[in-house]
């Protein structure tokens, strides 16, 4: 099955990454690198940016808007790091989507 070309970019919110690496909506991305290079920070920032875009798109009432769903897999992370990330995202999403 041939893959479709990228027609809608996924915005990470980090200008240098958005300019250099076109990430398409619906693609899976693996972020690899050495320890303490900011891989988790890039992933969390992208999730937060997409939450902002989703919130604005849903509020606009545009029937053609399709939200992006993000999945963060924390394999090899310390429990304290996972707890901090979960708390940050939970507080963020409650503040965005609470009535």
Q: Which tens digit of pLDDT belongs to each residue from 13-72?
A: 888 888 888 787 777 778 888 988 888 888 888 888 888 888 889 889 999 888 888 888
* Confidence (pLDDT) at 3: 67
Residue 99 pLDDT greater than 60, yes or no = no
Q: What does the pLDDT average to over 72-91?
A: 89
pTM as predicted: 0.78
Cβ contacts of residue 23 below 8 Å, gap of 6+?
6, 9, 10, 12, 29
**How many helices (DSSP H) and strands (DSSP E) are in the chain?**
3, 0
Alpha helices in 1-99 (DSSP H): 15-20, 39-60, 79-97
């Amino acid at each position: 099955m041939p893959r479709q070309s990228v027609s809608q970019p996924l915005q990470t919110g980090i200008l240098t990454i958005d300019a250099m690496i076109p990430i398409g909506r619906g693609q899976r991305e693996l972020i690899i690198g050495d320890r303490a290079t900011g891989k988790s920070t890039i992933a969390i920032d992208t999730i937060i940016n997409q939450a902002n875009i989703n919130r604005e798109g849903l509020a606009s009432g545009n029937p053609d808007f399709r939200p992006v769903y993000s999945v963060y897999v924390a394999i090899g992370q310390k429990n304290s790091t996972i707890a901090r990330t979960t708390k940050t995202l939970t507080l963020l999403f409650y503040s965005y989507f609470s009535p």
